[in-house]
Amino acid sequence: MKLGFIGLGIMGKPMAKNLVKAGHDLTVFDFKEDAVEELVADGATEAKTGKEVAEKSDVIFTMVPNSPNVEAALFNEGGVAEGLTAGKTVIDMSSINPLASQGFAKRLAKLNVGFLDAPVSGGEPKAIDGSIAIMVGGDKDLYEKNKDLLEIMGGSVTYVGAVGAGNTTKLANQVIVALNIAAVSEGFALAKKAGLDPKMVFDAIHTGLAGSTVMDAKVPMMIDRNFKPGFRVDLHIKDLQNALDTSHALHVGLPLTAEVMEILQVVKNDGNGGDDHSAIAKFYEKINDLTID
């Protein structure tokens, strides 16, 4: 099948590679030449614009940082929309404001082009091995038509409702992950200040009720002082801002999310915006004069 992929970042690049490995004819575009060259070496075809990607593809995937980036990729001069024809499909896998997703779907519908919002969760390791979770919003028949493609990139692909539902689900996910990292950091800061070995505490509690995927993935990183980004602080700030914007539009109170957002801002202001979001622990280390190691 002729596919296109725009956005070859930490997540997008391995996801695109998995489509190539599955035998699909993939055309790619990104401003990062090294990422494009890596995909071309794996068998993909380079495009110079989003328009060219759309012209050569039946289904076009976008995986970029935020709503304005998706809009630019789709509708700027030389963008995807200029190369679309009726019957093609755009699947946006970015994590963005669900209201923006709904707006993009309406604009593409005028071209008789289908649209799914299909954000992902799981971080770079799961993107590499094809086991990310994908939550999909849009027309159910369009979802069924493209489910096999999504399953190449994800271990869990779930339809959650109309356009925008995918990103609303992702925002809920990001709220829970951020609060979980903060809770883990707070608990392990207490243990370390009390003179305990964080590794021993982890071994004691990670299989109990306090255990979680977040604890299993992030506490070893904190202990090893390994903040190489699987998901950057900067991107989690973006996601929580989208969550807060959406909650305000819906008149929903998210007080804990707002508090963790402020913690993330401190982490970013200390120069750690490019770190993995497990660097939330650095805030607790800073205020308590300790390190969780």
Residues with catalytic roles:
170
Look up residue 90 and give its two tokens. Answer: 């755009």
In 3D, which of 226, 227, 223, 225 has the Cα closest to residue 197?
A: 223
Please state, in angstroms and rounded to a whole number, the distance separating the CA atoms of residues 119 and 272: 25
Please state, in angstroms and rounded to a whole number, the distance separating the CA atoms of residues 230 and 127: 10
Contact assessment for residue 92 and residue 115, using Cβ atoms and an 8 Å cutoff: yes
* Number of C-beta neighbours around residue 195 at 10 A: 6
Please state, in angstroms and rounded to a whole number, the distance separating the CA atoms of residues 171 and 101: 13
Look up residue 167 and give its two tokens. Answer: 């990103």
Please state, in angstroms and rounded to a whole number, the distance separating the CA atoms of residues 145 and 160: 15
